[in-house]
Amino acid sequence: MSEPDVVLRLTDLVKTFPGVRALDGVQLEVRAGEVHCLLGQNGAGKSTLIKVLSGVHRPDAGTVEWLGQPAAFANPQAAMKAGIATIYQELDLVDDLSVAENVFLGHEPRRLGFIRRGAMADRTRRILGSLGHEEIPARRMVHALQAAGKQVVSMARALSQEAKLLIMDEPSAVLAHDEVENLFRIIRSLTAQGIAVIYISHRLEEIREIGDRVTVLKDGRTTAANLSAKDTPTSELVSRMTGRTIEYVFPPRPQEPPRGEELLRVDGLSRAGEFRDVSLTVAAGEIVGIAGLVGSGRSELLETVYGARRADTGTVTLGGRKLRPGNVGSAVRAGMGMAPEERKSQALLLGEPIYRNMTLATFSGLARLGFTDAGRERAETDRIAASLDLRPRDVRRPVGTLSGGNQQKVVVGRWLLGDTRLLLLDEPTRGVDVGARAELYRVIRRLASEGVGVLLVSSEVPEVLGLSDRVLVMREGRVVRQAPSHELDEDTVLDLVMAGSLMEGTPA
C-alpha cells in the first residue's frame, strides 16, 4: 500500500480526564476504501477515541493527520464538514422530524431562507436508494421507524454530507441477522466508492467478514495495529485485548432438561398488527428463547405478556393465577420481572444512584410502614452487585456513569432482589461487551438453576440457541416452530426466520 492512500493517521494521541488517562498513546492508520476495525474491551478507550475524531473532545497531546494535513476539529460540525461522520450506538436522530429532515438536519437545501422541501425529499430518496432502502418513505416521521430503519437514516445523513470517513459504533447491535447482511452490503458499496469506514464491534465473526484491517486498543493504548482482519488468529486478537485467552462460552446446560412445574402459560394471545394467536409455556427453571427478526412481534409479545401492552385476546397465567391484562403491577406482584429492550429510556433513572435503580421494583417491600430503608437497600444492592460483579461497585454512583454491560446488570439485578419467578429478557446483551456477556449468561443460567423461569428474546441466533433449553421461532407475528434447542441449529433457525411467505411455515 502506498502512503497517499492514508486518509487518517493518529500518532501518540493522549486524552486525559480528571483522574483518568482515557487515551494514552493511540496509533491508528486508516486508508481510503478500507473497513478498519477497532477492537477493545469496555474501558479500552474506543468511545473516547471516536469522540476525539468526531470533534466532541480535543486531544491533549499527539497528532491527528487528516488527508495529509494536521487537523484539530473544534467541534462536531467542523469534523463533519471535513468529511468525518459518526454513527453512534445510541442513534442521534430527532424523533419528531421526518426522515428527510433528519438526513439534512443542519444543512437543509435552501433558497432565500426557505427550505426546499421537495428537493430535500428527492435527494433523500436518492440516498436511501443508493443504500438499498428506497422503501423508507422520506416524509415518514423517524419515530415510526424500527431501529434498523433509523440506522439507515443515520447513514443517509452521513452520505448527505459527502463523508470520506464513516465511524460506526457497534452498528450491528441494534440489528437482526438479515439486517446485518444488508448493513454489510451497504458498507461494501461505500468502500467501493473510496469511503473509509472505522467499524467498532464486539462480534469477531463480523470483523472477519467485513473488516480489512484491525487495530486493537487496551487501556487507552494501541496494543496491535493493522492486523489482517481475515487471517489473524482469534487467540491473538483476544490476547491483545485482554492479555489472556478467552472462550466465548455459554454455561453448560443441565444434563436433564428441566421439567419443573409449569410456571407461565400464554393462551391464544393476539394484538392487532403485532402478533396473532401465540400460545407458549415456560416451566420453572426453564430458559425459553424466542428467535425472530426485528418486526416479527417478539418484543411486542414480551411486553404484552408482562402487561405493558394490553392484549386484544388471549390470557396470561402465571403460577396458576390469571393476570389482569394490560396491568404491569399485577404481573410484578405475581412474580414477573422484565429487562426491556431500551435500557436507558425504558429501564433506568440515569441520574439516580445504582441502588435506587436496582431497588426500583422492590423498595416498597424493603420499606417499613411506607418509610424507605436506604441502608437496607444499599446492603441488598451491594449483595447483588457482588454476585453480578458490577463495576464499579459503589452503589451510590449515578447509574448513568456505568457502561452498557453494567447498566444491564443493574436492570437484571433489579429482579434478583425480589421473589421473581419469571424473568422476561429483551435483548439482554445488546451493547454489552464479550466479557460482560459471559457473565450475564452465567447469571441467567444460575437463576434458572434456582428455579426461575426465563423467557428470552434476542436477535442473535447463537445466543438464543446457546442459552435456551427450548426455542420458539417467530415470524411475522406467529410462532412458526417450537423445539428443544439441541434439536435446532443456527441455519435451521435462520431459514425459519427468513422464510418467504407467511403460510409456508407450519407451526411445530
Partner 1 sequence: MTLSEGTGLAVPGAATEPPGGAAQKRSWAGESSESVVRNLVLVGVLVALIVIGAVTQPELYSDSTWVWNNMVSILQLASVVGVVTVGMTFVIIGGGIDLSVGAIVALAGVWCTTLATQSYGTIGMIFTAIVVGVSVGLINGVLISYGRLVPFIATLAMLVSARGLAAAISGKQTQISSNAFINSLASDRVLGVPLLVYILAVVAVAGWVLLNRTTFGRRTVAVGGNAEAARLAGIDVKRHTMLLYGLSGLCCGIAAIMLTSQATSAQAAMGNLYELDAIAAAIIGGTLLSGGRGTIVGSILGVLIFATITNLFAINGLSTEAQNMVKGGIIVAAVLVQQFRFKSVTQFIARNRATTTS
| Cβ atoms 160, 107 nearer than 8 A | yes
Q: Which of 33, 62, 76, 251 binds partner 1 (CB under 8 A)?
A: 251
Distance CA(353)–CA(399), nearest Å, equals 6
Q: Does residue 378 interact with partner 1 by CB under 8 A?
A: yes
Distance CA(104)–CA(123), nearest Å, equals 9
| Cβ atoms 237, 204 nearer than 8 A | yes
Least Å from the CB of residue 187 to partner 1: 21
- Smaller CB separation from partner 1, 174 or 331: 331
Q: Which of 1, 61, 349, 502 binds partner 1 (CB under 8 A)?
A: 349
Q: Which of 114, 375, 500, 503 binds partner 1 (CB under 8 A)?
A: 375
Label residue 53 left, alpha or beta by phi (over 0 means left) and psi (-120 to 50 means alpha): alpha
Distance CA(305)–CA(284), nearest Å, equals 16
Q: Does residue 482 interact with partner 1 by CB under 8 A?
A: no
What does the DSSP 8-state code read for residue 90?
S
Q: Does residue 353 interact with partner 1 by CB under 8 A?
A: yes
- Of all helices (H) and strands (E), which one includes residue 218? strand 213-218
Q: Does residue 414 interact with partner 1 by CB under 8 A?
A: yes
Alpha-carbon distances, residue 485 vs 256, 276, 494 (angstroms): 13, 23, 13
Alpha-carbon distances, residue 267 vs 318, 330, 457 (angstroms): 11, 18, 19
- Alpha helices by DSSP H, 54-133: 76-82, 99-103, 117-130
How many residues bind partner 1 (CB under 8 A)? The answer is: 87
Least Å from the CB of residue 347 to partner 1: 5
Least Å from the CB of residue 182 to partner 1: 26
| Cβ atoms 251, 275 nearer than 8 A | no
CA-closest candidate to residue 457, choices 323, 315, 275: 275
Q: Does residue 464 interact with partner 1 by CB under 8 A?
A: no
For β-strands 422-426 and 336-339, DSSP reports them as: parallel
Least Å from the CB of residue 221 to partner 1: 12
Pick the piece of the chain touching partner 1 (CB under 8 A) from 60-68, 277-285, 316-324, 404-412. Answer: 404-412
Residues 282-341, interacting with partner 1 (CB under 8 A) = 306, 308, 328-329, 331-333, 338, 340
CA 179 to chain centre: 13
Least Å from the CB of residue 323 to partner 1: 12
Least Å from the CB of residue 79 to partner 1: 16
String of contacts with partner 1 for each residue 166-205, x by CB under 8 A:
----------------------------------x-----
For β-strands 20-31 and 6-17, DSSP reports them as: antiparallel
Residues 53-82, interacting with partner 1 (CB under 8 A) = 57
Residues 417-436, interacting with partner 1 (CB under 8 A) = 434-436
- Smaller CB separation from partner 1, 295 or 337: 337
Cell numbers found for residue 429? 446483551
CA-closest candidate to residue 355, choices 340, 373, 342, 371: 373
Q: Does residue 14 interact with partner 1 by CB under 8 A?
A: no
Q: Which of 211, 314, 404, 505 binds partner 1 (CB under 8 A)?
A: 404
Q: Which of 270, 403, 458, 468 binds partner 1 (CB under 8 A)?
A: 403
Pick the piece of the chain touching partner 1 (CB under 8 A) from 191-199, 240-248, 463-471, 499-507. Answer: 240-248
Pick the piece of the chain touching partner 1 (CB under 8 A) from 111-119, 177-185, 358-366, 482-490. Answer: 358-366
Q: Does residue 246 interact with partner 1 by CB under 8 A?
A: yes
Beta carbons within 10 angstroms of residue 450's beta carbon: 10
- Smaller CB separation from partner 1, 127 or 207: 207
| Cβ atoms 485, 468 nearer than 8 A | yes
Least Å from the CB of residue 385 to partner 1: 8
Polymer length of the chain: 508
Q: Does residue 383 interact with partner 1 by CB under 8 A?
A: yes
